[in-house]
Amino acid sequence: MMTEIFQQALHVDSSWLIASIDFNIDKKRLDIHILTSSGGVFLVTLIFLDYKL
């Protein structure tokens, strides 16, 4: 379910696949692993420097 939300939000087409999403609240970090149909692998990392809940 979560991967479909990120695929739509990031406009990932059918030749790409979000393989995993890792969120570490202690490190304020979001990692998104993306695979391509040709075998490529991408890692997108977001680091949140300042936020309040």
Query: In terms of pTM, does the model score above 0.85?
Result: no
Asked if 6 contacts 18 with a C-beta cutoff of 8 angstroms, the reply is yes
- Gap between the Cα atoms of 40 and 44, Å rounded: 13
Predicted pLDDT at 23: 92
Q: Nearest Cα to 2, choosing from 18, 15, 26, 14? A: 18
Predicted pLDDT at 22: 92
Asked if 50 contacts 35 with a C-beta cutoff of 8 angstroms, the reply is no
Summarised one tens digit per residue, pLDDT across range 2-53 is 888 888 888 888 888 899 999 998 988 999 999 988 888 888 888 888 766 6
Average pLDDT, the chain: 86
Domain boundaries, the chain: 2-47
